[in-house]
Amino acid sequence: MTADIRPLFQPFTMGPLTLKNRIVMPPMTRHFSPGGMPTAAVTDYYRRRAEAGVGLIITEGTTVNHPAASGAGDIPWFHGEALAEWKKVVDAVHAAGGKIAPQLWHLGSARRLGSEPNPTVPAYGPMEKISKGVKVVHGMTKEDIQDVVSAFAQAARDARELGFDAIELHGAHGYLIDQFFWEGSNQRTDEYGGSMENRGRFALEIVRAVRDAVGPDYPIIFRYSQWKQQDYTARLAPTPELLEAFLAPLVEAGVDIFHCSQRRFWEPEFEGSDLNLAGWTRKITGKPCITVGSIGLDGEFIQFMVDTDKVAQTANIDDLLERLSNDEFDLVAVGRALIVDPQWAAKVQEGRFDEILPFSREALNTLV
């Protein structure tokens, strides 16, 4: 590495949120919360990252209080008895000098019939889906929509009361909020379908309800992506003009920070500009943005979505540092590198690059 690492370790302030550096741990589902309850091991997992200098931890996706929100018995809940366990996580991260936000999540139609914790409940989504005579996706009524909006608002209210420093709404990767955005999964004929404005209505109602629940100053982060798990080539907004039409209403509704998910952070989002998705989002909205996508490793995450013996080695981050110093984006989310190496931030700050651990799928089997 030859670039100056100091920009990565400059403080960041937005309203009441002050971070000691620009490093973010993004949400990554780990499946270590049996019965939806985060365990002591989960608390220690997040605490170790805070102790080693991560500025903001965004938890793995935590599901809101709706029967079809979750898709596995070991995904953490953000309601009921689980809240007391999340309070332990918050206190541990704060004691270690870190800041933390829960990611609030609903799987939508990505949930499979028969999934825990409610195996008889079908998935919920914008459109009904019947497979071999069985309803596998329940097309959401307007009453269903309001129930889910209320569930997100309650989760955000609980997060603030528990002492979380912000909340993130999961509007990316083909899950429920994103399913309403995407023409391929939302062909409704009412006010929630059709134009981009209508397809964004569900998300706007969630953001406004969350804003009402947490007050005017509490930070709301919104994660979105162009790609989907079902289609890595999908483009929600193929031009800067369409991206602006998508983002502007979210800003007006109350989003403070955008978390802009790319597969590879270094790829330009549109022809004629080197700006990545976070860079374009910052340029269009003026809001702080988090960039993410294969940071610190030489192999992108898709290579590890299947059983493989591939190993991702440490990658040079000079390009990342140059973009950060040029104010292309404000914050940097480091994913798999932090799963395998809780000391990643400290090692980078101290120049111990040769000590950073490589990533393989084996790292997903434990909480280190």
Spatial contact of 107 and 68, defined as CB atoms under 8 Å apart: yes
All residues at 6 or more sequence positions from 68 whose CB lies less than 8 Å from its CB, including other chains: 106, 107, 108, 111, 118, 121, 122, 123, 124, 138
Query: What contacts 24+ positions apart, CB below 8 Å, involve 237-245?
Result: 239/270, 240/270, 240/280, 240/284, 242/196, 243/269, 243/280, 243/281, 243/284, 244/284, 245/196, 245/197
Over the chain (368 residues), the average pLDDT of each successive run of 10 is 90 97 97 98 98 98 98 98 98 98 98 94 97 94 98 98 98 96 94 97 98 98 86 84 97 98 94 97 98 84 56 88 97 96 97 92 91
For the purposes of burial, counting CB atoms within 10 Å of the CB of 190, is it exposed (0-12), middle (13-18) or buried (19 or more)?
Answer: exposed
Global pTM value: 0.96
Catalytic residue, chosen from 46, 175, 192, 224, is: 175
CA gap 61, 77 in Å, rounded? 9
**C-alpha separations of 60 from 17, 177, 240, 364 in Å:** 20, 17, 30, 13
CA torsion, ordered 328, 230, 56, 213, to nearest 10 deg: 100
Q: DSSP assignment, residue 266?
A: T
What does DSSP assign to residue 302?
G
Task: Please give the helix or strand (H or E) that residue 258 lies within, else none.
Answer: strand 257-261
DSSP 3-state of 148: helix
Domain ranges of the chain: 6-365
Does 6-365 carry CATH code 3.90.1150.10? no
Report the C-alpha gap between 122 and 131 in whole angstroms: 12
- One DSSP character per residue, 55-97 reads SEEEEEEEE-SSTTS-SSTTSPBSSTTHHHHHHHHHHHHHHTT
For residue 284, the surrounding DSSP H or E stretch is helix 277-285
Total H helices, total E strands in the chain: 11, 13
Q: Is 297 helix (H, G, I), strand (E, B) or coil?
A: strand
The 10 Å Cβ neighbour count of residue 315 is 16
Residue 271 burial (CB < 10 Å; 0-12/13-18/19+)? Answer: exposed
Does the active-site annotation cover 175? yes
The candidate with the shortest Cα–Cα distance to 332, out of 290, 300, 293, is 290
pLDDT at 111: 96
Secondary structure element (H or E) that encloses residue 279, with its range: helix 277-285
CB 315 within 8 A of CB 298: yes
Which pLDDT value is given to residue 300? 58
DSSP 3-state assignment of 20? coil
